[in-house]
Amino acid sequence: MSDVFPDPTPAPPHLATEFFAWLWYASERDGGTFDLGDGSVFTYWVDDRLSFRLPDEDKARAVLTGESAAASLEARAALLGGKVVRDLRLACKREDREYSVTLRGVNLDLQGAKLPTELKAADQVDEVLYERTFLLDELWFMVGTLYRRFATERVGPEWASEHLPAMRRWAAGAD
């Protein structure tokens, strides 16, 4: 790549798995509600898919699907057994609009996004395009907001003394 567009600094490989585990934990810790501070909120939860891998591998070792995959004993057992979250399906809801997206890999790839169904007539192509763009932007906003909250906690002084021990207790079922 040229000097005009230098290669971006890659994210540390453990950051994505920490974010995925934090999302799962925070959705239960906070009741799945995120207050935006302007009188509006959105809800989020780990949906119907979680996959786990060993920390030094990329291949999934355990994949859990179906309703309440995150609440299963197998999911907690995978964490307690030393596996890390490889990918998860995140669902978000803002007002009456419900979204889901799979977050995967060290680059936090967003895959298979499902946006709310639009109610526009098919002959209103411009309106449908604008609406889909708005919905995709809103999904990006919610995921980005969650990531910023994670980053704030992760680099904060309480990470090692409070947040990480609380996550470990949660994973062990002690909270």
In a domain, 1, yes or no: no
| Number of domains within the chain | 1
Contact 62, 75 (CB under 8 A): no
In a domain, 163, yes or no: yes
Instruction: Walk along the chain (175 residues) and give the pLDDT tens digit of each residue.
Output: 456 766 666 667 788 899 999 999 999 999 999 998 888 999 999 999 988 988 888 777 888 888 888 888 888 888 888 898 999 999 999 999 999 999 998 888 888 899 997 665 666 777 788 888 899 999 999 999 999 999 999 999 999 999 999 998 988 877 6
Return the C-alpha torsion angle 119, 124, 129, 131, nearest 10.
Answer: -40
In a domain, 2, yes or no: no
In a domain, 107, yes or no: yes
In a domain, 115, yes or no: yes
Structural domain of 98: 13-169
In a domain, 46, yes or no: yes
pTM of the model: 0.85
